[in-house]
């Protein structure tokens, strides 16, 4: 079968599943799960077939397959519903459907017994449809449509247990923060379309390759505005506030949406539209003071700051899911930083490996939470190594991958990012520090939550999760370990049109491939390992002895409190919003009180009243006055007529 047809099938399957479940199988939990899992499994198989047949076509690097349906033709805007297939989208397809399949299977066990089981799978299928839409989009407008759809799915899934006020609020917060980013995104799309007349990625890339000055003054501004979309979706500073709150959703949702795929959509979009960001800096007149800064600078620094900020916040959290959420934020910062350092393939590589091990970590956390009957505080866990062996070991594997321990996949992707950052020394130092912090807080988590002695009653009754939840953990662990050797980075390099380095991907021998980073970028590799070692050592010192309480607040004092309180960003934003709201309400109130009610309504009434009172004076009641006035009027009239 042609790859194009397969692409349409892959996109349609989850949509049919979502619609089918919503319309037909709401009553039956088992059937809904079966429909949803089958759809994703079929999509995964189809993706594999698609990638293999694409490979068979030997399409040169820099080109792609597009299949399109004409959709919108209004004014100067022509948008088609197009699916674009190239190595970049192929890699994402496999990652999204593969991890999605694991999570769907896991959810059958985790969500068992939930009264809205069917709705969960319908929402998951809707999400898969939207995410695949983003991956396969061939133009900005279509991507924006699916972008919003993904946001809606996220809203539905975060607020899945909507009777809980915290969950409902978190869902609203996520959607609204996303909207702020999307506003910038839309402005960027409009700027690009207004200058270049098209929104199709391939056309834009070719136009800009031929004429880099085509965007004129708007080059950097358009880039920054489009980046705002990624800021919202991938939770970069300062729009990062929604991701930790999104942990109110069920754990499989956190794994799928807020670790592996949706938040990665921002990075994917940056890679897809990278040609937009590598233009030389050019700002319009009023923003002339920004003249030296390019869009890539903004992206790199935003990513770096996010990575550092999130890592700092993570080291003092005590909710297992929040630690992982901040870890995700930090890793997303890494990916965005890599794009900003002009190496989108490094960011995408980390995205894929991160999808594997972060999903693994979240699912493992879900397994722990499930076993302890929805306990999420790490200071009430402990001693789970012997009671939940599979969960424990897969969690450790995931942690090692996240910390970048060779030869696990995380090492290679993190090394790629550190190597990319070498061009910007300050960010490089920052990245190394974040690597140390990452190891620190992850091993803090392991020592406190998984090792040592039980800290609470519930732990002693804990037993391992059912098989349907354990197999995804095992499979994702395998992926986390071996993904470094599957040639993902070579595929990404060819997909991003930087295929010149193909020789780089041809390893003479397997062993040469394992040690390749040490030869290619030794500083990054060694410093990265060093940072990992330091982080582990500090974590061992502080938490290895299984303290009953967190020793860090005493050692650090006030900074520890700032980290635990997330540096007060939420309070700042809510204060800002309240202040703006009050100011606007005050202005509108003044206008309503003084201008509408005062001037227009009472003014009109008052004027009528005054004039009436004046005219009243004519009615004296005196007959002779009336006679006199009549005669006088007559004289005047005669005067006018005769003279």
Phi, psi torsion values for 585, nearest 5 degrees: -60, -40
Q: Helix or strand or coil: residue 198?
A: coil
Q: Among 163, 285, 616, 643, which residue sits at the site for another protein (rule: CB under 8 A)? A: 616
CB of 614 to another protein, least distance (A): 11
Among 621, 639, 640, 643, indicate the residue that binds another protein (CB under 8 A): 621
Nearest Cα residue to 343 out of 407, 314, 378, 300:
300
Identified binder of another protein from the candidate list 386, 460, 509, 624, rule CB under 8 A: 624
Cβ proximity to another protein, 558 vs 619, nearer residue? 619
Alpha helices by DSSP H, 197-293: 201-210, 219-233, 242-245, 251-255, 262-272, 274-277
Give the H/E segment covering residue 560.
helix 558-564
Q: Which residue is associated with the tokens 């890339």?
A: 205
Assess 627 for contact with another protein (CB under 8 A): yes
Q: Phi and psi dihedrals of 453, rounded to 5?
A: -100, 155
Residue 536's Cβ-side half-sphere holds a number of Cα atoms within 13 Å equal to 12
Binding mask 566-605 for another protein (x = CB under 8 A): ----------------------------------------
CB of 611 to another protein, least distance (A): 14
Phi, psi of 77 (to 5 degrees): -100, 120
Q: Which is nearer to another protein, 591 or 630 (CB)?
A: 630
Number of residues forming the site for another protein (CB under 8 A): 11
Q: How many alpha carbons fall within 13 Å on the CB side of residue 268?
A: 31
Choose the binding region for another protein from 144-152, 189-197, 456-464, 620-628 (rule: CB under 8 A): 620-628
Q: Minimum distance from CB of 600 to another protein (Å)?
A: 28
From the list 416-424, 527-535, 582-590, 611-619, the region that binds another protein by CB under 8 A is: 611-619
- For residue 79, list its beta bridge partners: 72
How far apart (Å, rounded) are the C-alpha atoms in residues 404 and 409? Answer: 8
Question: Considering the complex, what minimum distance in angstroms separates the CB of residue 594 from another protein?
Answer: 33
643 contributes a contact to another protein by CB under 8 A:
no
Nearer to another protein, 386 or 624 (CB): 624
Q: How far apart are CA 492 and CA 84, in angstroms?
A: 15
Q: Which residues contact 9 (CB under 8 A, 6 or more apart)?
A: 46
Stretch that binds another protein, among 11-19, 45-53, 464-472, 627-635 (CB under 8 A): 627-635
Rounded to a whole number of angstroms, the minimum distance from the CB of residue 639 to another protein is 15
631 binds another protein (CB under 8 A): yes
Does residue 619 touch another protein according to CB under 8 A?
A: yes
Complex with another protein: residue 166 or 634, whichever CB lies closer: 634
CB of 637 to another protein, least distance (A): 15
In whole angstroms, the minimum distance from the beta carbon of 607 to another protein comes to 19
Given a contact cutoff of 8 angstroms between Cβ atoms, the answer to whether 332 and 236 are in contact is yes
Nearer to another protein, 503 or 643 (CB): 643
Q: Interface with another protein includes 511 (CB under 8 A)?
A: no
Q: Does 628 bind another protein (CB under 8 A)?
A: yes
Cβ nearer to another protein, comparing 53 with 620? 620
Structure-token pair, residue 598: 């005062």
Between 512 and 634, CB nearer to another protein: 634
Residues facing residue 73 across a β-bridge: 78
Smallest distance, another protein to C-beta of residue 602, A: 24
Find the part of the chain contacting another protein (CB under 8 A) among 25-33, 305-313, 512-520, 613-621: 613-621
Give the DSSP letter of residue 600.
Answer: I
CB of 588 to another protein, least distance (A): 42
Q: Pick out residues in 455-484 that bind another protein (CB under 8 A).
A: none
The structure tokens 């109110």 sit at 248
Query: What is the spatial distance between Cα 340 and Cα 306, in angstroms, rounded to a whole number?
Result: 13
Of 58, 549, 622, 639, the one binding another protein (CB under 8 A) is 622
| Piece of 105-113, 422-430, 586-594, 624-632 that binds another protein (CB under 8 A) | 624-632
Residues 6+ apart with CB under 8 A from 458: 372, 373, 375, 380
Omega of the bond prior to 238 within 30 degrees of 0, cis? yes
Q: Return the number of the residue (287 or 629) whose C-beta is nearest another protein.
A: 629
Q: Which two tokens stand for residue 34?
A: 């079966």
Min separation Cβ 610 and another protein, Å: 15
Candidates 363, 358, 357, 319; CA nearest to 108 is: 363
Q: Which residue has the tokens 């992982």?
A: 324
Q: Which one of 117-125, 221-229, 274-282, 625-633 is the stretch in contact with another protein (CB under 8 A)?
A: 625-633
Please check whether residue 490 is in contact with residue 515, taking contact to mean a CB–CB distance below 8 angstroms. Answer: no
Contacts of 23 (CB under 8 A, 6+ apart): none
- The residue among 79, 195, 215 whose CA lies nearest residue 143 is 79
Question: Taking contact as CB under 8 A, which single stretch among the options 136-144, 496-504, 565-573, 622-630 is the one that binds another protein?
Answer: 622-630
Nearer to another protein, 585 or 631 (CB): 631
DSSP annotation of 464: P
- The nearest distance, CB 583 to another protein, in angstroms, is 50
Give the pairing type, strands 65-74 and 77-85: antiparallel
Q: Does 638 bind another protein (CB under 8 A)?
A: no
Of the candidate spans 555-563, 590-598, 601-609, 619-627, the one that interacts with another protein by CB under 8 A turns out to be 619-627
In the bound state with another protein, the residue whose beta carbon lies nearer, of 509 and 624, is: 624
Q: Given the structure tokens 């490979």, which residue do they identify?
A: 55
Which range of residues in 176-184, 515-523, 590-598, 621-629 is near another protein by CB under 8 A? Answer: 621-629
Give the Cα separation of 352 and 338 in Å (integer). Answer: 14
Task: Quote the least distance from Cβ 634 to another protein, whole Å.
Answer: 10
Judge whether 382 and 448 are in contact, CB under 8 Å: yes
Q: How far is the CB of 625 from another protein (least distance, A)?
A: 9
Nearer to another protein, 74 or 617 (CB): 617
DSSP for 346-402 reads HHHHHHHHHHHHHHHHHHHHHHHHHHTTS--BGGG----TTTSHHHHHHHHHHHHHH
> Quick one: 572 or 636, whose CB is closer to another protein?
636
Per-residue DSSP letter, 239: S
Nearer to another protein by Cβ, of 194 and 611: the residue is 611
Positions 526 through 555 that interact with another protein (CB under 8 A): none
Which of 583/631 has CB closer to another protein? 631
Both structure tokens of 322: 């929040």
Q: Which of 337, 313, 341, 556 is nearest to 441 (CA)?
A: 313
115 counts as binding another protein under rule CB under 8 A: no
The contact set with another protein (CB under 8 A) reads 616-617, 619-624, 627-628, 631
């Amino acid at each position: 079968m042609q790859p194009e047809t397969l692409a349409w099938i892959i996109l349609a399957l989850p949509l049919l599943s979502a619609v089918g479940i919503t319309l037909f199988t709401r009553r039956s939990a088992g059937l809904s799960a079966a429909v949803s899992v089958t759809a994703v499994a079929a999509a995964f198989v189809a993706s594999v077939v698609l990638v293999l047949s694409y490979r068979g076509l030997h399409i040169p690097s820099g080109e792609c397959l597009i299949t399109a349906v004409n959709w919108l033709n209004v004014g100067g805007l022509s948008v088609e519903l197009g699916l674009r297939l190239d190595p970049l989208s192929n890699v994402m397809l496999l990652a999204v459907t593969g991890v999605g399949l694991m999570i769907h299977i896991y959810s059958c066990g985790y969500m068992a017994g939930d009264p809205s089981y069917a709705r969960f799978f319908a929402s998951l299928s809707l999400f898969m449809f939207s995410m695949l839409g983003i991956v396969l989009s061939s133009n900005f407008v279509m991507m924006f449509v699916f972008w919003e759809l993904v946001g809606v799915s996220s809203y539905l899934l975060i607020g899945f247990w909507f009777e809980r006020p915290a969950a409902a609020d978190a869902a609203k917060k996520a959607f609204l923060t996303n909207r702020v980013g999307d506003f910038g995104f839309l402005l960027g799309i409009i700027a690009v379309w207004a200058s270049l007349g098209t929104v199709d990625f391939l056309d834009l890339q070719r136009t800009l390759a031929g004429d880099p000055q085509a965007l004129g003054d708007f080059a950097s501004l358009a880039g920054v505005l489009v980046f705002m979309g990624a800021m919202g979706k991938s939770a970069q500073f300062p729009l990062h506030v929604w991701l930790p709150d999104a942990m109110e959703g069920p754990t499989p949702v956190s794994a799928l949406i807020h670790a592996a795929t949706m938040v990665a959509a921002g990075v994917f979009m940056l890679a897809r539209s990278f040609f937009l960001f590598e233009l030389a800096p050019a700002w319009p007149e009023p923003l002339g003071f920004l003249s030296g800064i390019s869009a890539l600078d903004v992206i790199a620094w935003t990513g770096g700051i996010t990575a550092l900020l999130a890592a700092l916040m993570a080291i003092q959290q005590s909710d297992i899911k929040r630690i992982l959420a901040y870890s995700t934020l930090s890793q997303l910062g890494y990916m965005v930083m890599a794009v900003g350092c002009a190496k989108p393939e490094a960011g995408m590589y980390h995205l894929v490996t991160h999808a594997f091990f972060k999903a693994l970590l979240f699912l493992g956390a879900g397994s722990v939470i499930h076993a302890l009957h929805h306990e999420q505080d790490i200071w009430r866990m402990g001693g789970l190594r012997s009671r939940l062996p599979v969960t424990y070991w897969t969690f450790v594997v995931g942690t090692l991958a996240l910390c970048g321990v060779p030869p696990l996949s995380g090492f290679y992707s993190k090394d790629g990012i550190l190597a990319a950052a070498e061009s910007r020394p300050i960010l490089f130092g920052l990245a190394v520090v974040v690597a140390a912090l990452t190891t620190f807080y992850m091993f803090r988590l392991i020592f406190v939550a998984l090792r040592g002695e039980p800290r609470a009653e519930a732990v002693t009754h804990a037993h391992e999760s059912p098989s349907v939840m354990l197999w995804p953990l095992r499979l994702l662990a395998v992926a986390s370990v071996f993904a470094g050797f599957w040639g993902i980075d070579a595929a990404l390099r060819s997909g991003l049109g930087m295929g010149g380095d193909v020789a780089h991907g041809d390893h003479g021998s397997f062993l040469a491939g394992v040690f390749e980073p040490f030869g290619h970028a030794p500083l990054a590799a060694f410093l990265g390992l060093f940072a990992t070692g330091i982080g582990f050592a500090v974590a061992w010192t502080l938490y290895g002895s299984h303290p009953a309480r967190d020793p860090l607040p005493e050692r650090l004092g006030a900074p520890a409190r700032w980290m635990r309180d997330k540096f007060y960003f939420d309070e700042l934003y809510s204060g800002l919003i309240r202040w703006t709201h009050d100011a606007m309400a005050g202005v509108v109130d003044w206008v309503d009180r003084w201008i509408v009610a005062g001037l227009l309504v009472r003014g009109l009434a008052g004027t009528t009243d005054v004039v009436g009172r004046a005219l009243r004076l004519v009615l004296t009641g005196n007959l002779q006055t009336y006679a006199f006035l009549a005669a006088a009027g007559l004289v005047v009239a005669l005067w006018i007529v005769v003279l």
